[in-house]
Amino acid sequence: MKILVGVKRVVDFNVRIQVKADGSGVATEGVKMSMNPFDEIAVEEALRLKEAGKAEEVIAITIGPKASQEQLRTALAMGADRAIHVETDEDVQPLTAARILKAITDKEEPKIVMLGKQAIDDDNNQTAQMLAALANWPQATFASKIDVDGDSANVTREIDAGLETLSIDLPAVISTDLRLNEPRYVKLPDIMKAKRKPIETFTIAELGIEPAAAVKVLKTSAPAARQAGIKVASVDELVAALKEKGLI
Amino acid sequence: MAKVLIIAEHDGKKLNGSTARVMTCAQGLSAESVEIAVFAAEGAAVAEQAAAISGVTKVLLIENPANEHATAAILAPQIEALASEYSHVLAPSTTFGKDLTPRIAAHLAVPQISDIMRVESPRIFDRPIYAGNAVITVEAPEGIVVGTVRTASFSEAEKTGSATIEKREINVELPSHTRFVKLETSGSADRPDLQAAAKVVSGGRGVGSTENFKVIYDLADKLGAAVGASRAAVDAGFIPNDHQVGQTGKIIAPELYMSFGISGAIQHLAGIKDAGTIVAINKDPDAPIFEIADFGLVGDLFEIIPELEKALA
């Protein structure tokens, strides 16, 4: 079986982002870009399924500007077999992304589409669920353990109440959470090898997608900052301060 | 005028406090009606709790054995069948709502507004991006507004209402491709719920081990507090995942948040920004958590906790 795995280019998780003074967005010029960490976990899990003999081919896909190919190359260096780049300079929101992924899914017919549970830039946490809806497939979001067995899978999900296990028929969409695995480091020879792996490119128009009605961003602002507090020197001082506030 | 449908979150017996927080958000929509839908196998008790939330016009109770567990693939087609009667469909931005609502939005061919933290108008909302390090004001396009509500941004609505409860049958085909197997909880049912607690005591990597977490639990019990944790502590296996606070864990707004041995990665801080008072205890005087703590105390948590307990006794 094939696994299609989504990869998004985002501002690196270590970067402290700055809101532009004119409220037009977040400054991304000259900022380090990386693969969304949840997507790295998705790539790793797809590769592990392949290495365990449960999948034959891992295809990485990204939607974004030309530079997103860097993140596809990372996925290929990790071990993905080939990649698909849906190239656009537009801001692609989750519903449109899900429609694009649906079109690629119809073409490639993967048994599993593995996506990070959310991208750490827009924090939407929508695309996997939307793709599952459009395909009328099962979804198992926030996965922390995946056992594939023939035409079905048992997926353990990290939910507020604890760990929930679902049994789902394949094909299905799975979104990955933090503790599913620890992604491998990419070795230099693999980076060289990845340069020879194929990347197929499409435009949104070529896929015949109608972009969805979009949420309009009116302005971007910095969050309300918390007042800086004080350091206390002792437990007694702390207890006195909390008592004064009526907290203990 | 807005007609709002809220999807209740519950465990079959008890309505989750997040639902009353979504109600407070809905009050900002100048709605002519706000209805709560309870999907359950047997949901009379939950429906009664929902009917007591002030401002609720009506509670819809949809009972079906298939609704025993909150499975998105099962609930979504039923909600889609109801949705055309409403201008807004809202759920809490908990793992329940996050899993469910995008599935509905996609079928309704509308985008979703995730993590609504402020209502400016029935179509204009604030929501956080980049782990809360920026806030965007967004306008939903025409059509039904589907959204999840960031529960830490809204308090629970009062419980002085007595809305009518109407049983509904929804006859849509439900998929059999998704089956509930089991739910493992960390068995802390006698402790306050992390997302609803007024006080939270939280431990990080600095706590060091599962055994050492006992001191965190003991202090929490003395204060009547819930227990939270940083991602590092959960990753290290000190404490189960449902205690994780932060960007991808739980976003909480207790009156008092006391952190022990948590350095304060931005992802963790994103989960506690709305707390009333933040107390940080850490060995490292340069730990970023001190930048947002109201009261910081530099020191060894294993020395400070016994002192605290003595002072509280």
Assess whether pLDDT exceeds 80 at residue A71. Answer: yes
What CATH code would you report for B199-312? Answer: 3.40.50.1220
How many contacts does A have with B, using Cβ atoms within 8 A?
A: 254
B74-85, pLDDT tens digit by residue?
999 999 999 999
Evaluate the omega torsion of the peptide bond into residue B192 and state whether it is cis, within 30 degrees of 0.
Answer: no
Across the interface, whether the CB atoms of A247 and B76 are under 8 A apart is answered: no
**Domain pair B2-167 / B199-312, same fold:** yes
Please count the other Cβ atoms lying within 10 Å of the Cβ belonging to residue B123. Answer: 19
Give the integer Cα–Cα distance in Å for A97 and A126: 10
Number of independent structural domains in chain A: 1
DSSP string computed for A50-93? HHTTS-SEEEEEEEE-GGGHHHHHHHHHHT-SEEEEEE-SS---
- Can you give the C-alpha Rg of chain A in angstroms? 21
CA angle in degrees (0–180, nearest 5) for A214-A33-A103: 45
By C-alpha distance, which of A34, A32, A33, A54 is closest to A45? A54
Q: Which residue of chain B is at minimal alpha-carbon distance from A119?
A: B130
pLDDT band at A133 (very low <50, low <70, confident <90, very high): very high
> Mutation test of the interface with chain B: which of A100, A215, A232, A243, choosing the one with the most B Cβ atoms within 10 A?
A215
Q: Which residue of chain A is at minimal alpha-carbon distance from B313?
A: A248
Token digits of residue A245: 């506030």
What mean pLDDT is predicted for residues A211-225? Answer: 94
Instruction: Report chain A residues whose CB lies below 8 A from the CB of B137.
Output: 217-221
Give the integer Cα–Cα distance in Å for B216 and B260: 8
- B2-167 to CATH, choices 2.40.30.10, 3.40.50.720, 1.10.8.420, 3.40.50.620: 3.40.50.620
> Mutation test of the interface with chain A: which of B14, B126, B136, choosing the one with the most A Cβ atoms within 10 A?
B136
Give the integer Cα–Cα distance in Å for A107 and A117: 23
Q: Which residue of chain B is at minimal alpha-carbon distance from A181?
A: B235
Give the integer Cα–Cα distance in Å for B252 and B240: 17
| Interaxial angle between packed helices A235-244 and B301-312, expressed in degrees from 0 to 180 and rounded to the nearest 10 | 50
Assess whether pLDDT exceeds 80 at residue A209. Answer: yes
Assess if residue A176 is contained within a domain.
yes
- Whether the Cβ atoms of residue B60 and residue B83 lie closer than 8 Å to each other: no
Å between A157 CA and nearest CA of chain B: 9
Assess if residue A225 is contained within a domain.
no
Q: Which residue of chain B is at minimal alpha-carbon distance from A27?
A: B134
CA B96, distance to chain mean position in Å, is 9
Beta-carbon contacts of B75 under 8 Å, excluding residues fewer than 6 positions away, are B7, B39, B67, B100
Beta-carbon contacts of B5 under 8 Å, excluding residues fewer than 6 positions away, are B35, B36, B37, B79, B82, B83, B85, B86, B88, B89, B90
> Where are chain B's structural domains?
2-167, 199-312
How high is the pLDDT of residue B313? Answer: 83
DSSP string computed for A96-122? HHHHHHHHHHHHH--SEEEEES--TTT
Instruction: Give the phi and the psi of residue A62 in degrees, each rounded to 5.
Output: -130, 155
How high is the pLDDT of residue B190? Answer: 76
How high is the pLDDT of residue B288? Answer: 95
Of the candidates A134, A163, A228, the beta carbon closest to that of B106 is on: A134
CATH code at position A188: 3.40.50.620
Across the interface, whether the CB atoms of B298 and A163 are under 8 A apart is answered: no
What mean pLDDT is predicted for residues A138-142? Answer: 98
Assess if residue A209 is contained within a domain.
yes
Please give the mean pLDDT across all residues of chain A: 97
B180-224, pLDDT tens digit by residue?
999 998 766 678 889 889 999 999 999 999 999 999 999 999 999
ipTM of the complex: 0.96
Low-confidence ranges of chain B (pLDDT < 50): none
DSSP string computed for A5-40? EE--EEE-TT----B-TTSS-B--TT--EEE-HHHH
Of the candidates A217, A239, A248, the beta carbon closest to that of B136 is on: A217
Assess if residue A237 is contained within a domain.
no
Across the interface, whether the CB atoms of B290 and A231 are under 8 A apart is answered: yes
- Whether the Cβ atoms of residue A124 and residue A97 lie closer than 8 Å to each other: no
Across the interface, whether the CB atoms of A94 and B111 are under 8 A apart is answered: yes
Assess if residue A60 is contained within a domain.
yes
SS3 assignment, position A153: strand
Domain range for residue A121? 2-220
